[in-house]
Structure 1
Amino acid sequence: MITPALRWRRSSRSGDTNCVEVSHNLDAVRDSKQPCIQLGVDTRRLLDAVKNGRFVR
């Protein structure tokens, strides 16, 4: 089975050299400096956890 190529977007606040990109369907993230390394993630769940303060020290 052939997996379609992901489309990526970055924050408008990102600089030119340091950036985390998220796939358009929110199921993967990557570092713009090393785009071949991608991390599959349930981004919606992660964002919910951040918004709810689960990562506050």
Structure 2
Amino acid sequence: MSSKSRRISTICIADDVRFRIEYLKKIKELRASQPDADALITAYPNLPGEDGVVTLAESLYADN
């Protein structure tokens, strides 16, 4: 793997990690104010796996 390829790969991984952290922060924020799948889908429209968001929201927000 070339140095440039490693650098691009590292950037992609870092971007992915940042996105996941922000996504989890948003879930926590929405849990307090709008505990449902629609709020997550609205916050992140066109995100792959949208059909799994309902299941995710049901399990995360079950106690609300």
TM range (shorter): under 0.3
Q: Which structure has the highest strand share of the two?
A: 1
Q: Which structure has the highest helix share of the two?
A: 2
Tell me the TM-score normalized by structure 1: 0.25
